[in-house]
Every structure is written in C-alpha cells, then in structure tokens.
Amino acid sequence: MVELRYDPRICRECQTIDCLTKCRHLDFDLDSARQERENILQGKPSRILQDCLTCYACEEYCPYGNHPFYLLVERQEQLGWWPAPKPITKQQILMMAPKGKIVKEQVQAPVINLCYFPMLKDTIRGRLFEGCSSIVGSDIFCNIMWLHFAKNSVIKERVPKVIDTIWRYYLEPNQVREMVCFHDECFGTYTHLAPAFGMEVPFKPIHLFEFLTRRLVSLKDHIRPLGLKAAYQRPCSNRLSPETQPWVDEIFQRIGVERVEREYDGENALCCGAILRAQQREEVADDLQKRNIQDMKAAGATICVFNCPFCLFTLGEMVAQQGLMPILMSELCHFALGEGKIMGR
Ligand code: SF4
Ligand code: SF4
C-alpha cells in the first residue's frame, strides 16, 4: 500500500525536535517546536503549514528518518493548503502528466536517466559518457516536485507508475539493473521517497556524482587540473540524499577545483528560489538569491557549479552578472578532460 510511513511515537519521544529547531526559515524555540510538532501529528492547523518554504531540509535534519517534511506536505494537502496558487498548481499537474506514449527502447548500461530535461541530452557525450544510453521524457518524470505544491496525492498516484515504466520498458528488457540518475530529484525519489511511501524499486539507482567519480578514476591520465575556485549550489532535493555530498569534494579534488568555504553550503545551503517564485514568494526569493550570490562572491569563487538544471536556469544569469561562470558539474568534468573550453581560458 502506498502510504507515508512514519512513527508518531518517535516524534513524541524526540527531545530535540531538530526538524523544526534547525529550520533556517521558521523561528522556533524548543517549546514552540514541540507544540507545533504535536499539532502536525494530530492533523490540526499549524503555522508551519503556511510558512514552510518547502526547502526539504527537515528531511535531512531529522536524526531518526521519521519524514517530517513528507508529513508536513501530507497535512497541507489534507487541510486544503495550497503553497502555490490553485490555477498554477492544477495547470502544472495537467501539463506534466505522463503522456503514455512509451515504446520499448533498446538501451545498454550505463543508462542515464535525464528525467524531464531533453536539453541535457547534449551533455551525454565524449569520453565521460562513452557507451552510455540516456532516457528522458514525461513518462519517466520522477514527480517529486509535487512536494513543493502540497500534492502527495499526485506523487502516490504517479511515482509507482513511473518506476514500473522505467523497469518494464527500459531496464528489464535490456537486462540492465542499475540506472544513473542525472538529477538529484530522481535519485531522492527512488532511494528516499519511494521507500518512505512503501513503493518498491526493482532497479539500483546510482547518483550522477558516483558515476562521474568512477569515470574520472578510469580517465585519470587524461585530466588537466582546472585550478578554479568554485561555489557549489546544493539543490533542495539533495537534502534527501546527504550521503552523496562527499562526491562533490571527490570530483573537485580529481579535476583540480577548490570548493570555497562559504556560509550557505552543506546543511546551511539556500534554495535557488525557483519554487519560491512559483509560490509567488517574490520577496523571500529575492532575499535568498541576493544573500546566496553575495556569499559566493565574498568567498572568492570564480565559478558556480550546479547539478540541478532548475537551479542553473534560475541562478545562472544572476551569478554571471556578478562575474561568476555558471556551469553544470558534468560540463566541468568535460572541460577537465580537455573536451570543450571554459570561457577566457
Ligand atoms: S520528525 Fe524527527 S526531528 Fe522532528 S520531532 Fe520527529 S523524530 Fe524529532
Ligand atoms: S521544509 Fe524547510 S522551511 Fe519547511 S519546515 Fe522543513 S526546514 Fe523549515
């Protein structure tokens, strides 16, 4: 049965309420956090339902894996709260529905899942992705973004079908057992969200950064260290798989890039602002983006590295206007392998 698995007893015995006391956007002390946690558990209204910026971070903060953010979204939907205007939400849900036009495709391992981003196809090239197949389209769209729109119901309905489509139409007929997730959203969906809702995943999801690291190891003799200072824009969906963070440092170290120390990185990362704009929280988005980019500059970064295409679309031009070059992690690896050219070098 597809239902959120969480244990209210764990929350009631929890002494620290990290999910709320660590939240960077809502101001809770321990007592108010305990009260609001209880309201959420009992399905009562809580100010969190309307003030939450849907940054996913509390999923990372809970030391017991008890899914505070998924539960919050569940309650938002049950109590009829719409973080984004109703017409926008309804239109997006319709627009991004699976089209059902799947044909069995011949693929070979490694298979790279590009989710709903056909524009990423161009990055699957060169020695880095030699021998890879890629899959893309609405029928394999991971659908996790509905967390931002208080629509767990759409996730529960669509994600099992997406998992089935990937397995039955692409992987199983070609005897492929692993799938590389280009986007953190997909990796988070299949490794974190699916088990939280009791969905079975018959394939093994691999994070893009693990794949890139493996390739860089085998291509080590071709790497030309880049000697750049990078700010890393951690995407919200990476909160669901914080264990993948060390891969960022591993990749940077292998290609001669320094990850600058800055305030808004790691657990303290800031949302790119894309979803906040969809939710019409313009002032909050302006503030987060301004602080984030100032922090990158102050730390001495000359490039801003992204993994999430949405973050790149949202912040790319803004960081460029501030003199930082925006770039996807995979493109940066191509450059280190001498394939392509970084501006001004
Ligand atoms: S979700 Fe986690 S951190 Fe929050 S109260 Fe429950 S157990 Fe504690
Ligand atoms: S999703 Fe982010 S803003 Fe919302 S309660 Fe969790 S940590 Fe706070």
- The CB of 69 under 6 Å from ligand 2? The reply is yes
Q: Mutation test of ligand 2: which of 56, 60, 74, 238 has the most ligand atoms closer than 8 Å to its C-beta?
A: 56
| Pairing state between β 133-135 and 111-113 | parallel
Q: Give 191-242 pLDDT, tens digit per residue.
A: 999 999 999 999 999 999 999 999 999 999 999 999 999 999 999 999 999 9
| Ligand located closest to 17 CA | 1
178 and 288 in a single domain? The answer is: no
| Claim to verify: residue 180 and residue 96 sit in the same structural domain | yes
254 with 314, same domain: the answer is: yes
Q: Calculate the alpha carbon distances from 109 to 71, 102, 129, 242, 287 in Å.
A: 36, 19, 11, 26, 43
Between CA 243 and CA 5 the distance in angstroms is 21
C-beta separation of 259 from 210 below 8 A: no
Instruction: Decide if pLDDT at 344 tops 60.
Output: no
229 lines ligand 2 (CB under 6 A): no
**Residue 111 belongs to domain with CATH number:** 3.40.50
What the block records as the tokens of 52 is: 């939450």
Please give the average per-residue pLDDT across 319-337, as a whole number: 97
Has residue 216 been placed in a domain? no
Same domain, 233 and 286: yes
State which of 32, 52, 78 marks the end of a domain. Answer: 78
Atom of ligand 2 nearest to the CA of 57: 7
> What residues contact residue 187 under an 8 Å CB cut-off, 6+ apart?
181, 205, 207, 208, 237, 240, 241, 244
Does residue 101 register a pLDDT over 90? no
Mean pLDDT of 177-196: 98
Question: What are the backbone dihedrals phi and psi of residue 14, each rounded to the nearest 5 degrees, phi first?
Answer: -70, 130
Residue located nearest, by CA, to atom 3 of ligand 1? 62
Spatial separation of the C-alpha atoms in residues 122 and 120, rounded to whole Å: 5
Do 155 and 267 fall within a single domain? no
Does 159 share its domain with 242?
A: no
Mutate to test the pocket of ligand 1, among 26, 37, 239 (most ligand atoms within 8 A of CB): 37
Say if residue 243 is in the same domain as residue 317.
Answer: yes
Which pLDDT value is given to residue 345?
Answer: 53
Q: Give the residue, by CA position, lying nearest to ligand 1 atom 6.
A: 11
- Ligand 2 atom nearest 56 alpha carbon: 1
Give residue 100's pLDDT band: very low, low, confident or very high (50, 70, 90).
confident
Q: Taking the C-alpha atoms of 74, 57, 293 and 309 in order, what is their torsion angle to the nearest 10 degrees?
A: -60
| Shared domain check, 320 and 243 | yes
Res 103 pLDDT > 80: no
- Domain CATH for 261: 3.40.50.1860
CA distances from 61 to 155, 195, 229, 262 (A): 22, 18, 28, 20
- Residues with C-beta less than 6 Å from any ligand 1 atom: 10-11, 14, 17-19, 37, 62, 64, 66, 68
Distance, CA 264 to ligand 2 centroid (Å)?
A: 16
Q: Return the ligand 2 atom nearest residue 72 CA.
A: 5
Cα of 189 to ligand 2 centre, how many Å? 18
**Within-domain flag for 279:** yes
pLDDT in tens, 38-70: 999 999 999 999 999 999 999 999 999 999 999
Q: Is residue 22 part of a domain?
A: yes
For ligand 1, atom 8: residue with the closest CA: 17
Q: How far is the CA of 185 from the centre of ligand 2 (A)?
A: 17
Report the alpha-carbon distance of residue 230 to residue 258 in Å, rounded. 6
CA of 107 to the centre of ligand 2 (A): 39
Examine residue 2 and state whether it is found in any structural domain, yes or no: no
Expressed as residue numbers, the domain containing 47 is: 8-78
In a domain, 341, yes or no: no
Q: Please report whether residue 1 resides in a domain.
A: no
286 and 195 co-located in one domain: no
Do 72 and 92 sit in the same domain of this protein? no
The answer to whether residue 343 sits within a structural domain is no
Strand order in the sheet with 303-306: 257-259, 228-233, 303-306, 325-328
Q: How far is the CA of 266 from the centre of ligand 1 (A)?
A: 20
pLDDT for 340 beyond 90 = no
Q: How many domains does the chain have?
A: 3
Which of 22, 62, 67, 73 to mutate for ligand 1's pocket (most ligand atoms within 8 Å of CB)? 62
- Is residue 142 domain-shared with residue 57, that is, in the same domain? no
| pLDDT higher than 60, residue 109 | yes
- Pick from 152, 138, 47: which is nearest to 89 by CA? 152
* Final residue before a domain boundary, out of 182, 211, 240: 211
pLDDT digits (tens, 9 = 90+) for 266-318: 999 999 999 999 999 999 999 999 999 999 999 999 999 999 999 999 999 99
Last residue of a domain, one of 55, 78, 101: 78
